[in-house]
Amino acid sequence: MGVLRPVKMSKVGLIGLKGDRERILSLLHDLRIAQIEVLSPEALAELVPERGTETQRTIGDEALRFRGLKNALPAVPVGPPRGFASLVDVLSAAREVPIDAEVGQLEREDDTLTTEEEAIDEEVALLEKLAFYPDRLEYLRAKSFVSFFGEDDAESRAALAAALPPAADAQFLTDPSGSGGFLVTLRTQNADVLARVAQGHGIRLTPIPELAGPPHEEIERARGRRTEIVKRRVAIAERLGAIARDWYATVAAIDEALQVENRKIEVLSKVGAGLTTFALEAWVPTRDIARLESILRVATGGRTYLYAVPTDEEPPTLMDNPKGIRRFEFFIRFYSLPQADEWDPTFVFAIVFPLFFGFMLGDWGYGLTILLICLWMIGGFPGAQHLPRVGRNFVKRIMGPKGMQQLAYALLPGCLLAIGLGLFWDEFFGFHLFHALFGYSALIDPASAKGVPVLLLFAGYVGLGMVVMGFLFGALKEYFHHHPRGVVGKTGGILFAFGIAFLGLAVIRRQDSLAHNVLFDGYLGLIVVGLSLLLGGEGLQNGMMGLIEVVSHILSYTRLVGILLASVILALVINSISSGLIVGGTIVGIVAGLVILLVGQSFNVIIGVFEPGIQGARLIFVEYFSKFYTGNGKPFRPFGAARTHTESTITPDGLAPGPLVQAPPA
């Protein structure tokens, strides 16, 4: 488990006998600890790339076949995973499955019926709108004229009629119920003119279906046909269910086994081969190399050689934070994945971000509301189908359901802190509830003349701490990368940050005694030494930019107070306006006041999610990450996938089952 650093990776090479290759690849697949790479040129000079075989093409065909069967059959509970002794066993089991023809025929029929059912639904919807037409539908079509149905207001219909040429001989029949529906009949040769004019006026026209009877009779006839379709589709589903009860477990196991074989075939393009041997190279977590070597040695009877591959390549990045911290990897990946040899900032982000979010929210009413919303999101959005479609679509555009749940988990600790601070500050949707009920007076009122300077001072110290910590991580990174000038520059940034911050406080607090203050001389010394180191380590241009960044980044953390005050003051304004209308006593005033209170506070809740969340992340991404973080790491993508329906080649204790006594013939 890695904290503050990604998992250390090493590149290893593996040489084995061709007879053991299938088992070795199966072990690597189930271990999921090796990212197999293209063989290096030095190794390929002694070997040749693997070539495709007829067996591999058979595996590909069978994999497509069983993936289609599995998707066509309804999922049913299955028993324990099935074991296959070899690829021959898998292909033999695949040939014994006889359900392709029947399942294919049923699936094609169901697809046809589904298409017909949808067409009937659309036809019925149109016929219901045509209920105002009393005659037979066959009267609306002939060789010399055509008919269309449209919907729009009277003004648009009049504009449409006026735009048609007299030669079209257009006739309109309007729905007397006032729904806006209408029929238009005109000469066939003018149909294209009607289409262009309707498109220009934004009116959608639908051709009248080729039916004979009146709309109400055709509706009954269509509904009867739809009932027959539904009955047949139910019968098809029941038959597929019966087939699934007999064959789904077998199909799912074979499908999974073939997918494993397909992944192994894809890997073969990166493997080199000799007459009796093969070789591959892979990135593996350093901590897992000994275990991998032991498993391969046992599984192949000692016929596998694992060795380190010297390389200057950038390793892939594997983050492995503790479970609670891992929730915040979402934010780091969203920004940029760390490189394998730099700091993993997830741990610090997981501590600092909730603190920033809770501080900027600072109201136990808002905190409790957002907490409940987060719990609803984590619970899978129960009842979300009853929300307005516009709101649901807007949320989906921002982030998918999984991303929303990750965000909800990350906001939980911040909401708890906001509740705690809100109780301490007596802030409940902008009301001083405890003061009104119990006479409680908070030690710090965020919006008061005394509270603001205290909070600003606190925010300044937070900014100083974050900037210094960023420089400290930067200095350590430069040290580990053997860049002594970088260490000097980052150390200078730390000294300059301390000097400029404490000098600023000295100027504010002791303006009359600066010239005779020993500490003041010390602060100036820190500034001078820090400035010298920063310029010496970073160079003149970068050093001067660094000086400006130190000051601006420390001051930037005062936005913690700015966002807090904005939320508090907005709540006070909403409460003042709404309470004034409600206290007025008129019904209109009471209703208007309640509407303003509900809408305004809802708006402030939304701001309470976005502003603290965005600004809290920004303070970390910009003011903190800029001191040490490079990013643009390559994700670690291990070969393999979890098994569900087939037995793993790795035993529950993490080892391979018994060794092969001897390698089968190549």
% of residues, the chain, pLDDT over 90: 51
Q: What is the pLDDT of residue 386?
A: 66
Q: In the block, which residue shows the tokens 């029949």? A: 173
Give the pLDDT band of residue 369 (cuts 50, 70, 90): very high
Q: What is the pLDDT of residue 605?
A: 92
* List of long-range contacts for 477-485, beta carbons under 8 Å, 24+ apart: 477/342, 477/343, 477/628, 480/341, 481/341, 485/536, 485/537, 485/538
Max CA pair span of the chain:
107
What are the structure tokens assigned to 494, written together? 């730390």
The number of beta carbons lying within 10 Å of the beta carbon of residue 434 is 18
Query: How confident is the model over 392-406, as a mean pLDDT?
Result: 71
Q: How far apart are CA 466 and CA 474, in angstroms?
A: 12
What are the structure tokens assigned to 469, written together? 């910590």
Residues 426, 432 contacting (CB under 8 angstroms): yes
H-helix or E-strand spanning residue 159: helix 154-163
The burial of 24, by beta-carbon neighbours within 10 Å (0-12 exposed, 13-18 middle, 19 or more buried), is given as buried
Residues 2, 341 contacting (CB under 8 angstroms): no
Tell me the per-residue pLDDT of 133-172, one tens digit each, with 9 for 90 and over.
989 988 888 888 899 998 888 888 888 888 888 888 888 8
> Strand, helix or coil at 327?
coil
pLDDT higher than 80, residue 399: no
Which residues lie across from 284 on neighbouring strands?
Answer: 10
Q: What is the pLDDT of residue 349?
A: 95
Query: How confident is the model over 198-208, as a mean pLDDT?
Result: 87
Q: Which domains does the chain have, with CATH numbers?
A: 112-225 (3.30.70.340)
How wide is the angle at C-alpha 306 spanned by C-alphas 301 and 312, nearest 5°? 170
Q: How far apart are CA 604 and CA 431, in angstroms?
A: 14
Which residues lie across from 467 on neighbouring strands?
Answer: none
Give the pLDDT band of residue 534 (cuts 50, 70, 90): confident
The length of the chain in residues reads: 666
Query: Of the candidates 190, 222, 272, 17, which has an alpha carbon nearest to the alpha carbon of residue 120?
Result: 222
Backbone angles phi, psi at 327, to 5 degrees: -60, -30
Query: Of the candidates 6, 25, 29, which has an alpha carbon nearest to the alpha carbon of residue 286?
Result: 6
Query: Of the candidates 42, 459, 431, 29, which has an alpha carbon nearest to the alpha carbon of residue 262?
Result: 29
Tell me the per-residue pLDDT of 642-664, one tens digit each, with 9 for 90 and over.
999 999 988 877 777 766 544 44
Q: How far apart are CA 121 and CA 497, in angstroms?
A: 71
For the chain, the straight-line distance linking the first and the last C-alpha, in angstroms and rounded, comes to 40
Give the pLDDT band of residue 54 (cuts 50, 70, 90): confident
pTM: 0.79
Backbone angles phi, psi at 658, to 5 degrees: -50, 155
Q: Using only the alpha carbons of the chain, give its radius of gyration.
A: 36
Highest mean pLDDT range out of 40-44, 244-248, 524-528, 582-586?
244-248
Give the pLDDT band of residue 200 (cuts 50, 70, 90): confident
Identify the residue with better confidence: 241 or 141: 241
Q: What is the pLDDT of residue 324?
A: 86
Query: Of the candidates 88, 94, 87, which has an alpha carbon nearest to the alpha carbon of residue 261?
Result: 87
Separation in Å, CA 500 to CA 463, 551, 555, 559, 588: 12, 8, 11, 19, 57
> Strand, helix or coil at 11?
strand
Query: Of the candidates 353, 417, 385, which has an alpha carbon nearest to the alpha carbon of residue 617?
Result: 353
Backbone angles phi, psi at 429, to 5 degrees: 50, 35
pLDDT higher than 90, residue 229: yes
Separation in Å, CA 601 to CA 358, 566, 572, 598, 627: 18, 13, 10, 5, 38
Q: Which residues lie below 8 Å from residue 412, measured CB to CB, with a gap of 6+?
A: 371, 374
Query: How confident is the model over 49-71, as a mean pLDDT?
Result: 86
Tell me the per-residue pLDDT of 415-470, one tens digit each, with 9 for 90 and over.
999 999 999 999 999 888 888 888 888 788 888 888 888 899 899 999 999 999 99
Q: What is the pLDDT of residue 665?
A: 45
pLDDT higher than 80, residue 528: yes
pLDDT higher than 70, residue 515: no
What are the structure tokens assigned to 209, written together? 């279906």
Q: How far apart are CA 570 and CA 599, in angstroms?
A: 12
Q: What is the pLDDT of residue 228?
A: 95
